[in-house]
Amino acid sequence: MSRVVKLAVIPGDGIGPEVVAEAEKVLDAVTASSGVTFDKTRFSLGAARFLETGDTLTDDDLQAIAAHDAILLGAVGGTPGDPRLKDANIERGLLLKLRFTLDHYVNLRPSKLFAGAPGPLANPGAIDFVVVREGTEGPYVGNGGAIRKGTPQEVANETSVNTAFGVERVVRYAFDLAERRGKKVTLVHKTNVLVHAGAIWQRVVNEVAAEHPQVTVDYLHVDAATIFLVTDPARFDVIVTDNLFGDILTDLAGAVTGGIGLAASGNINPDGAFPSMFEPVHGSAPDIAGQQKADPTAAILSVALLLDHLGLGAEAARVSAAVESDIASRTGARSTAEIGSAITALL
Amino acid sequence: MSRVVKLAVIPGDGIGPEVVAEAEKVLDAVTASSGVTFDKTRFSLGAARFLETGDTLTDDDLQAIAAHDAILLGAVGGTPGDPRLKDANIERGLLLKLRFTLDHYVNLRPSKLFAGAPGPLANPGAIDFVVVREGTEGPYVGNGGAIRKGTPQEVANETSVNTAFGVERVVRYAFDLAERRGKKVTLVHKTNVLVHAGAIWQRVVNEVAAEHPQVTVDYLHVDAATIFLVTDPARFDVIVTDNLFGDILTDLAGAVTGGIGLAASGNINPDGAFPSMFEPVHGSAPDIAGQQKADPTAAILSVALLLDHLGLGAEAARVSAAVESDIASRTGARSTAEIGSAITALL
Ligand SMILES: CC(C)[C@H](C(=O)O)[C@@H](O)C(=O)O
Ligand SMILES: CC(C)[C@H](C(=O)O)[C@@H](O)C(=O)O
């Protein structure tokens, strides 16, 4: 009996199409004899599409994408400062709209320092942690506005919204993950300043922790967490944090584990009500687009997260292992396609 | 004619009194023959005082402190998890109350990698930049609340408030500083997500930049900024950013320039309507308090900022130079007092 997975593919802008092509190469190869067929639909979305049609993400797009089992996304976003994009916000209108509408409340971002990966730290130690970033609340809700805009009397507000419902489900996910890993959860927040948002996170963590006596619980203010990410990143196992702090910590974590060219992510709806979406943490990098200069490894590791999510753990492990040995044997510069082919050959 | 400076000294909790003692040693020595007398008043404030009297910062305290020309603060905050402090928020009730009431709209945090300073980066390069962190607005305003607190239906909000008035004055300070330094200003924000707060910052920076044609202007999202802080910190000259992003970036910057034991800060009211306050970036570290283990260098460099602020540039330079040569010749472990005395001897 063969299983068919309906996969929506959004190559996007800039280096997106190039890295997605390699990710697909790996996906096709690793599932060739798995009995699982990927039925792919390509969606042409992003800055390029906006410039052509004026649409960012229509209701029809959303409905069509939501009818899939999973989503693979490259990167979206036009050239910074492009005047034609001045009033478009591709990030909010496309990427965040997908995350919010498809209820991707777990933004899963593993950080692992592979042997041989370049990194800025003199003594990085053994880095292997996962950031569980909340994906549907916090300062990202778009709950803001301005009065007297453009004048010396302008006041611009942004409201972070945090619900017990939203915090609890992601905290539960983090504790379940820690049970299967190193049995440690670190909450990162700024409870001493953001006292209301901080209190709800701390309370929920305390409550869920009581159900997980095997899991050690730790707390760090976000500022202190950035210090430990560069002085003792090996101390982390599972970090659970809000949408904005998670955004900041995972870029820094990507940098300390060999660069954002290696950092993968999954925007996950664990309930399965909506398709989950897998994407490299990096952006569209228009400055190097079309030049075969981008590292497709982050996109390929996102395929590993996708396979894991679909229950194809063995295939996911083969992809990770192939990436690991490719990184260990890297020497000179290679093109995007050469890296993709090398990893495919190592499967 | 001798000048008298009325200095409020707040040693605070934990290691605060130890590092302030050394900072005073240096201050006294460097100003001994300057013709300036420091008339000091000590204020016993912090967690210890709260536990004794139940007061964090009374109106009388505030009035008395405000009558001074400047403030030197060690660190405040009790032992984390102390049940007697559960409902006290020393950070908001004391430190932030001082910054907000005394209108410290510039939180000035220099980051310089001194020769010989330990640091986590393999190839740090020449790090020498200043973060100009806004100090009276943004997510720090305390404009939040919760409904259905403690229940599964809780909703907790925090509102970031940003005014053209508040943003413009700190942006002007940053550009003026850049004119006297490397002529480069980097705005750090998250304009693609926090669109309203981001827009006011970007607009004001554009407007002020137009008056400073010699200054190069750069923009980074806060997540990307953390990457550059560990991969290419030498690219920065003056960073201007909001209260929360500035908090995060300056701890990370402290870490990459040899640790938070070296990071100084000034909470400045440039208009002179209120006394400015100088303090190490580090906290009260109750775990090592009273053991002479803390590095007083951050407090001593805060004295240099204080002297600069008072127009005593030559004395400030002597303090910085003494710290620089002390760091260059560090070998084994020394006590807090030994470091303070060594720096004093080098003045
Ligand atoms: C592009 C942007 C909206 C996005 C975010 O802030 O979440 C990106 O930085 C990320 O981390 O995926
Ligand atoms: C103690 C805390 C309120 C404070 C802040 O967040 O500003 C501290 O982290 C700092 O950077 O001075």
Task: List CB contacts (< 8 A) between A157 and chain B.
Answer: 159-162, 196-197
Residue A87: what pLDDT?
78
Closest CA to A68 of A39, A26, A99, A100: A39
Residue A88 pLDDT level (bands cut at 50, 70, 90): confident
- Number of neighbours of residue B260 by Cβ within 10 angstroms: 23
pLDDT at A1 exceeding the cut of 70: no
Q: Is the CB of A92 under 6 A from ligand 1?
A: no
For residues B266 and B278, is the Cβ–Cβ distance under 8 A? yes
For residue B244, the ligand 2 atom closest to its alpha carbon is 6
Question: Using the beta-carbon criterion (under 8 Å), do B152 and A164 form an inter-chain contact?
Answer: yes
What average pLDDT score do residues B82-107 get? Answer: 93
Cβ A226–B144 below 8 Å, yes or no? no
Bridging pattern class, strands B238-241 and B128-134: parallel
Residue B237 appears among annotated catalytic residues: no
Cβ A201 vs Cβ A94: under 8 Å:
no
Does the model's pTM come out above 0.85?
yes
- Nearest-by-CA chain B residue for A200: B156
B187 three-state secondary structure: strand
Torsion angle defined by CA atoms of residues A194, A195, A201 and A205, in that order, rounded to the nearest 10 degrees? 130
Q: Examine the residue annotation and report whether B184 is marked as an active-site residue of this protein.
A: no
How confident is the model over A291-303, as pLDDT tens digits?
A: 999 999 999 999 9
Q: How many CB atoms lie within 10 A of CB B159?
A: 20
Query: Are B252 and A230 in contact, with CB atoms under 8 Å apart?
Result: yes
Give the start-end residues of each E strand in chain B: 3-12, 36-42, 70-75, 106-112, 128-134, 138-147, 155-163, 184-189, 216-221, 238-241, 264-268, 276-280
Write out the H or E segment, with its range, that includes residue A101. helix A97-101
Ligand with smallest separation from the Cα of B223? 1
- Tell me the pLDDT band of B123, cut-offs 50, 70 and 90: very high
Indicate if the pLDDT at residue B86 is higher than 90: no
Q: How far is the CA of A32 from the centre of ligand 1 (A)?
A: 32
- Token pair for B238: 């003056």
Q: A192–B91: do the CB atoms touch at under 8 Å?
A: yes
Of the partner residues B151, B227, B248, the one whose CB lies closest to the CB of residue A222: B248
Share of chain B above pLDDT 90, in %: 94
Question: B162 vs A168: CB contact, 8 Å cut-off?
Answer: no
Smallest CA separation from ligand 1 atom 1, residue: A91
Q: What is the mean pLDDT of residues B7-21?
A: 98
Q: What is the pLDDT of residue B193?
A: 95
Distance from the alpha carbon of residue B345 to the mean position of ligand 2, in angstroms: 32
Choose the closest CB to A193 out of B140, B154, B197: B140
DSSP string, A135-192: -SSEEEEEEEEEESTTSTT-EEEEEEEEEHHHHHHHHHHHHHHHHHTTSEEEEEE-TT
Mutate to test the interface with A, among B154, B161, B232 (most CBs of A within 10 A): B154
What is the reported pLDDT for B1? 56
The mean pLDDT value for A74-93 works out to: 89
- Using one digit for the tens of pLDDT, what is the confidence trace for A91-145? 999 999 999 999 999 999 999 999 999 999 999 999 999 999 999 999 999 999 9
**Which residues in chain B are contacts of A151 at CB distance < 8 A?**
164
Count CB atoms within 10 A of the CB of residue A14.
27
Contacts of A194 in chain B (CB under 8 A): 139, 144, 158
Ligand 2 pocket test target in B10, B85, B96, B131 with most atoms within 8 Å of CB = B96
Instruction: Summarize the confidence of residues A186-208 as an average pLDDT.
Output: 97
Amino acid at B4: V
Are B152 and A144 in contact (CB < 8 Å)?
Answer: no
Confirm or reject: Cβ of A132 under 6 Å from ligand 1. Answer: no
Q: What pLDDT, on the 0 to 100 scale, is given for residue B270?
A: 97
- Residues β-bridged to residue A38: A5
Mean pLDDT, residues A166-171: 98
Mean pLDDT (chain B) is: 96
Distance B331 CA to ligand 1 centre (A): 44
